[in-house]
Amino acid sequence: MVRFEDISTPARLAEPGEGIGRDELSLATRNHGLPLEALRYDLTPPGLHYVLTHYDIPYAEDGDWELTLGGHVERPLRLDMDELRSYAAVTTRVTMECAGNGRALLSPRPVSQPWLVEAVGTADWTGVPLRALLAEAGVRDGAVDAVFTGADHGIERGVEQDYQRALPIETATGDAPEILVAYAMNGAPLPPQHGRPLRLVVPGWYGMAHVKWLRDITVAAESFTGFQQATAYRLRQEPDEPGEPVARIAPRALMVPPGFPDFMSRARVVRPGDHTLEGRAWSGHAPVTAVDVSTDDGHTWNPAALEASDDHRWAWRRWHFTWTAAIGTRVLCARATDAEGRTQPLEQPWNRGGFANNLVQRVPVHCTGL
Amino acid sequence: MVRFEDISTPARLAEPGEGIGRDELSLATRNHGLPLEALRYDLTPPGLHYVLTHYDIPYAEDGDWELTLGGHVERPLRLDMDELRSYAAVTTRVTMECAGNGRALLSPRPVSQPWLVEAVGTADWTGVPLRALLAEAGVRDGAVDAVFTGADHGIERGVEQDYQRALPIETATGDAPEILVAYAMNGAPLPPQHGRPLRLVVPGWYGMAHVKWLRDITVAAESFTGFQQATAYRLRQEPDEPGEPVARIAPRALMVPPGFPDFMSRARVVRPGDHTLEGRAWSGHAPVTAVDVSTDDGHTWNPAALEASDDHRWAWRRWHFTWTAAIGTRVLCARATDAEGRTQPLEQPWNRGGFANNLVQRVPVHCTGL
């Protein structure tokens, strides 16, 4: 008899020096990040936006999809895709980042999806404001959480489940951010891996909140204690702590690595002279107000030019900086600061899940006259 | 002074038990495979087709792109994108597979892009037949190779290079297969990671032949001995052999893993009863004529139903098979055979590059009544 505990083991940390395992590689070959040179695009081209799927991508077509909205409401709703598209639509440009971004650089390394720094992307999402649907259903007094259920099904740490996450009812019915029940990405129906035909988009929050393949919203009069809320996506130093929930995206700047790479080592090479360093910066807490660049591994910093956000409050901002390269090896860094004064650490902010880690990116670059 | 040999080391094999390294992970997070559940689609949805980029994705827009065609020809050509689009267009559905697919399952493991089995995808490619351009330029007597140069630039095993590959002139001017200089994928301009704005498509050949970001074609009166032709992409048992070149795709069948997964181990779970196993099968040598399924790790085999190819000679064919699952663990396999009698081995066909390996896929599945 197969027992779930035989195939679904507890979370663990890698041993010192332990290479990436077959399990982590299986996730890395399925899910994928943004190749950092694609930070050049305001809007991430299709297929380059990061993707993380916990289980399998469900096979779904528009025709037979229904969203139910029930629980602690006056008038439960059942809506097909045509009905959802008949509501006034809102389009928002959103930079989305996986809560586990940067995990594989941590020491010790939490064994899970092994992101380096590339789990990010920006898209225009179109859909119905969640608060409009909740208003139509009539949230009853005493509501605490709105619980979102996706069609993706699997086992995680021994628990068989549909993917489910909740938002506090004040967040779900609020407009800061304006949460979308989205059916289009960059003007086209959602690709399968981004939730076809329907997903939640929660601007400013890490990716785990943006429930894909959304099929049900249940308003609850009690706090949701499902696996992805109470067990996963918590900031813990020790396994038995309750931990703080992961929510909004910490500020981060990323750089397009300059020059050209070695295929295997990915080491970067430039020729001597001026190079425009460029990249993007974002924060889910407050607008990014400054990006600083270091060309000496974080010892000294200089301000980068930060471009206008064009009123895309929830999207990354482009920055650039001119660097005069001389023969030798330098470590380049960029650091974002937001309007609430949050910035990025030079030492890793470690937790057992490897979540919400916004350690400054380090890009070693070799300048050669060859 | 930085020397290329310090940052660009020779090819090597992993030690027994050596985990995936940071270098291999850096490739795995950038490049990505087809999540196997997406074998359900005839045409791979955008973003799910496998991608392998040797260096960086060049930043290119249509407007200023030019293709030059010169060398051993009567009338050198220089064509912009509008001129290329003015030729009679051909659209072909092509299943493309990376030559290194399956590499990370080999023992010993060649250290490179660590694919498991998922480096495949199918798309409709539209462009100008290569032979039409070569005919217009007038290939001169004594031509041996057509050399294709991409805009992607990097270092590989100590050699700085633009990505370049050649085809024998008889192949380049022939129509078996009809080779395309392609500017559209699934009816839309090429996405950046698939070669925007122009790439070669060589139906039936592994991915290394389909040069992306194509900017030059040079007809040569001597055999091309560039890195990607004479050093890389050769089948070798020992490092100093010349080796046979990698060319056409060996037959392969892949299965959509049935049931649902565990997040971390990717172990598969099904309930007892009937399950439709399904997948795709392809060969670059000759049409696939049979797919067989084993539910006992390759000891016994039964024929699967193979669906019509709808005249898409160069695309995969869907197959399906009904399996009645009973409590316990089984290893499922599928095996393709083509019209020339080529099939897939149960023991690994090993070479130092991990190329053209079409080992039968093994999918362990746990059937539980829980």
Q: Using one digit for the tens of pLDDT, what is the confidence trace for B140-180? A: 999 999 999 999 999 999 999 999 999 999 999 999 999 99
CB A45 within 8 A of CB A133: no
Minimum Cα–Cα distance from B11: chain A residue: A264
Q: Which residues of A touch B31 (CB under 8 A)?
A: 32
**CB A300: neighbour CB atoms within 10 A?**
10
Give A265-317 as a DSSP string. T--EEE-SEEEEEEEEEE-SSS-EEEEEEESSTTSS-EEPEE---TT-TTS-E
- Which residue, A88, A62, A280, A57, is CA-closest to A188? A62
Q: Which residues of A touch B23 (CB under 8 A)?
A: 264-266
- Which residue, A32, A280, A276, is CA-closest to B53? A32
- Expressed in angstroms, the distance from the first to the final Cα of chain B is 63
The answer to whether the CB atoms of B269 and A7 lie below 8 A apart is yes
- pLDDT for res A3: 86
Q: What share of chain B is helix, strand, coil (3-state, %, to 5)?
A: 15, 40, 50
- Interface mutation target, options A164, A263, A368, chain B, most CBs of B under 10 Å: A263
- Which residue, A309, A326, A325, is CA-closest to A317? A309
Label residue A278 left, alpha or beta by phi (over 0 means left) and psi (-120 to 50 means alpha).
Answer: beta
Q: Which residues of B touch A49 (CB under 8 A)?
A: 47
Minimum Cα–Cα distance from A8: chain B residue: B262
- Interface mutation target, options B262, B330, B365, B370, chain A, most CBs of A under 10 Å: B262
Kindly state the average pLDDT of the residues B37-49: 96
The answer to whether the CB atoms of A262 and B37 lie below 8 A apart is no
Q: Which residues of B touch A1 (CB under 8 A)?
A: 327, 368
Buried b (16+ CB within 10 A) or exposed e, B268-294: bbbeeeebebbbbbbbbbbebbbbbbb
Tell me the per-residue pLDDT of A204-256, one tens digit each, with 9 for 90 and over: 999 999 999 999 999 999 999 999 999 999 999 999 999 999 999 999 999 99
Q: What Cα–Cα distance (Å) separates residue A129 from each residue in A135, A177, A283?
A: 10, 10, 22
CB A322 within 8 A of CB A274: yes
Tell me the per-residue pLDDT of A27-61, one tens digit each, with 9 for 90 and over: 999 999 999 999 999 999 989 999 999 999 999 87
CB B147 within 8 A of CB B164: yes
Kindly state the average pLDDT of the residues A317-331: 98
Q: How many A/B residue pairs have CB atoms within 8 Å?
A: 220
CB A363 within 8 A of CB A255: yes
CB B358 within 8 A of CB B345: yes
DSSP label at B84?
A: H
SS (H, E, C) A27-45: HHHHCECCCHHHHHCCCCC
d(CA B64, CA B199): 16
CB B267 within 8 A of CB B320: no
Give the 3-state secondary structure of residue B183.
strand
The answer to whether the CB atoms of A264 and B35 lie below 8 A apart is no
Q: Which residues of B touch A367 (CB under 8 A)?
A: 2
- Interface mutation target, options B6, B23, B29, chain A, most CBs of A under 10 Å: B29
Which residue ranges does chain A devote to CATH 2.60.40.650?
A: 252-367
Which residues, including other chains, have CB under 8 Å from residue A342's CB and lie 6 or more apart?
A250, A251, A283, A285, A286
- pLDDT for res A61: 73
> Is the pLDDT score of A62 beyond 80?
no
CATH code matching the domain that covers B4-245, chosen among 3.40.50.720, 3.90.420.10, 3.40.50.2300, 2.40.10.10: 3.90.420.10
Q: Predicted ipTM?
A: 0.95
Give the β-pairing of A120-129 and A180-185. Answer: antiparallel
Kind and range of the H or E run holding A235: strand A234-235
Give the β-pairing of B214-220 and B66-71. Answer: parallel
CB B353 within 8 A of CB B232: yes
Residue A147 C-alpha, separation from nearest chain B C-alpha, in angstroms: 21
- Interface mutation target, options B22, B27, B30, B36, chain A, most CBs of A under 10 Å: B30
Q: Which residues of B touch A51 (CB under 8 A)?
A: 47
- Which residue, B163, B192, B56, is CA-closest to A266? B56
> Is the pLDDT score of A331 beyond 90?
yes
Q: Which residues of B touch A40 (CB under 8 A)?
A: 59
| Mean pLDDT of the residues in chain A | 96
The answer to whether the CB atoms of A262 and B24 lie below 8 A apart is no
Minimum Cα–Cα distance from B196: chain A residue: A45
- Which residue, A20, A209, A152, A113, is CA-closest to B25? A20
| Mean pLDDT of the residues in chain B | 96
Tell me the per-residue pLDDT of B118-146, one tens digit each, with 9 for 90 and over: 999 999 999 999 999 999 999 999 999 99
d(CA A322, CA A336): 17
Minimum Cα–Cα distance from A12: chain B residue: B264
Beta bridge partners of B334: B293, B361
The answer to whether the CB atoms of A53 and B47 lie below 8 A apart is no
- pLDDT for res A310: 82
d(CA A28, CA B60): 27
d(CA A196, CA A94): 18
> Is the pLDDT score of B370 beyond 80?
no
The answer to whether the CB atoms of B26 and A116 lie below 8 A apart is yes
d(CA B96, CA B48): 12
d(CA A319, CA B350): 47
Minimum Cα–Cα distance from B5: chain A residue: A262
Give the β-pairing of A77-80 and A66-71. Answer: antiparallel
CB A165 within 8 A of CB A232: no
Sign of the Cα pseudo-torsion (B338, B342, B346, B347, in order): negative
Tell me the per-residue pLDDT of B241-260, one tens digit each, with 9 for 90 and over: 999 999 999 999 999 999 99
d(CA A29, CA A31): 6
Q: Which residues of A touch B20 (CB under 8 A)?
A: 19-21, 24-25
d(CA A39, CA A52): 19
- Which residue, B244, B217, B216, is CA-closest to B230? B244
- pLDDT for res B225: 97
Beta bridge partners of A319: A279, A306
Pick from A37, A56, A265: CB nearest B260: A56
> Is the pLDDT score of A102 beyond 80?
yes
What's the CATH class of domain A252-367?
Answer: mainly beta
Which residue ranges does chain B devote to CATH 3.90.420.10?
A: 4-245
The answer to whether the CB atoms of A26 and B266 lie below 8 A apart is yes
The answer to whether the CB atoms of A264 and B9 lie below 8 A apart is yes
Tell me the per-residue pLDDT of B325-337, one tens digit each, with 9 for 90 and over: 999 999 999 999 9
> Is the pLDDT score of A103 beyond 80?
yes
Q: Which residues of B touch A261 (CB under 8 A)?
A: 55-56, 154-155
d(CA B199, CA B189): 11
Q: Which residues of A touch B118 (CB under 8 A)?
A: 29-30
- pLDDT for res B2: 79
The answer to whether the CB atoms of A264 and B32 lie below 8 A apart is no
- pLDDT for res A46: 87
Pick from A18, A46, A156: CB nearest B191: A46
